[in-house]
Amino acid sequence: MSRWWMVLCWVGLLWGQAQTVRVVAASDLQYALPEIARAFEQQNPGLRVELSFGSSGKLYTQLVQGLPADIFFSADAVFPQRLEEAGLTAPGTLRLYAVGRMVVWVANVWAQQGLDPRQVGPRVLLDPRVTRVALANPVHAPYGRAAVSLLERFGLVRETRSVPWEEMTAGIPAYYDISALRRGKPSFEFVYGENISQAAQLALSSTNVGILALSIARSEAMERAGVYWLAPLSSHLRLDQTYAILRGRDRPEVRRFYEYIATPEAHRVLRRYGFFLPGERVQE
């Protein structure tokens, strides 16, 4: 009798695992994706979506090293393409799900004193009061890379040493002239979050200024605490956000959530957090 009980327990455990979709995703999705997952679960009783968030680059490294996951949502196309090239994705599942947007965010306490990015855009960073700016680490975070390209586009930094993003471990000033941002200030520094969500927390708690994802800036906490300027898509590294099913994980329940991301219900959530969607006409 006990042997049959053990068999039933193992069957139950395996069934439970088969009904869970394990998702690893870029941190700019930390508000939008849980909403999408909850709606999916309501429409699919018995299925559960397990979400983990981090920087796209670090998640990529962990997946290469064997991190167990079913679907990977990146903040760019680079890391999923590398997985595909390494044979680590299910064939034909690499797909664009959204285009990300960048903002310069400033806390209300400063915006109310005239430091309003909606009026002057990224040049708000030149104000003598701005001595610390939060952004995601460009070594492994696509939004950090887009932030650097935004600063370069507006002449606020100038590249002095060309290296791959992954090698920029000494900090932005080691590779870019930031004298424009330092001018007329007692000091100036970038404060790096391990991902875009952590960069937003740094902007909230210490720097009062951040170069962030629009999807994070549109969260309740960030909208209540500050204001932002929305960067034109042409002003920074394009964030073609891409997802894929991982190799050997293309089970029916995984495929069902993968396809749900392209439904009108999921698109409504993504659009509400400021993402452009595949096929939409981009208007600046």
Q: Structural domains in the chain?
A: 20-99+240-272 (3.40.190.10), 102-235 (3.40.190.10)
* Residue 17, pLDDT above cutoff 80: no
- Do residues 113 and 69 touch, judged by C-beta distance below 8 A? no
- Sequential DSSP letters for 121-173: GGGGGGSTT--EEEEE-TTT-HHHHHHHHHHHHTTS-EESS---GGG-TT-GG
> What is the spatial distance between Cα 275 and Cα 27, in angstroms, rounded to a whole number?
14
* Cβ count within 10 A of residue 183: 10
Classify residue 46 by burial, with Cβ atoms within 10 Å: 0-12, 13-18, 19+: exposed
Residue 19 pLDDT: 87
* Cβ count within 10 A of residue 171: 15
Residue 278 pLDDT: 83
Residue 92 pLDDT: 96
pLDDT per residue as tens digits for the range 156-187: 999 999 999 999 999 999 999 999 999 999 99
The arithmetic mean of pLDDT across residues 57-69, rounded, is 96
> What is the spatial distance between Cα 116 and Cα 62, in angstroms, rounded to a whole number?
39
* Cβ count within 10 A of residue 160: 11
Of 261, 259, 270, 248, the residue nearest 83 (C-alpha): 248
The arithmetic mean of pLDDT across residues 96-111, rounded, is 97
> What is the spatial distance between Cα 182 and Cα 91, in angstroms, rounded to a whole number?
48
Q: Which residue has the higher pLDDT, 70 or 1?
A: 70
pLDDT per residue as tens digits for the range 230-281: 999 999 999 999 999 999 999 999 999 999 999 999 999 999 999 999 877 6
Question: What percent of the chain is predicted at pLDDT more than 70?
Answer: 92
pLDDT per residue as tens digits for the range 108-150: 999 999 999 999 999 999 999 999 999 999 999 999 999 999 9
> What is the spatial distance between Cα 6 and Cα 198, in angstroms, rounded to a whole number?
44
pLDDT per residue as tens digits for the range 195-216: 999 999 999 999 999 999 999 9
Residue 5 pLDDT: 44
* Residue 12, pLDDT above cutoff 90: no
Here the tokens at position 215 are 């999807």
The arithmetic mean of pLDDT across residues 41-51, rounded, is 95
The arithmetic mean of pLDDT across residues 15-19, rounded, is 54
The arithmetic mean of pLDDT across residues 16-29, rounded, is 85
* Residue 14, pLDDT above cutoff 70: no
* Residue 284, pLDDT above cutoff 70: no
Residue 94 pLDDT: 98
* Cβ count within 10 A of residue 139: 20
* Contacts of 171 by beta carbon, 8 Å cutoff, 6+ apart: 190, 192
- Do residues 79 and 57 touch, judged by C-beta distance below 8 A? yes
- Tokens 């900090």, residue located: 171
The arithmetic mean of pLDDT across residues 1-13, rounded, is 44
Tell me the pLDDT band of 283, cut-offs 50, 70 and 90.
Answer: low
Residue 119 pLDDT: 94
Of 9, 5, 32, 11, the residue nearest 213 (C-alpha): 32
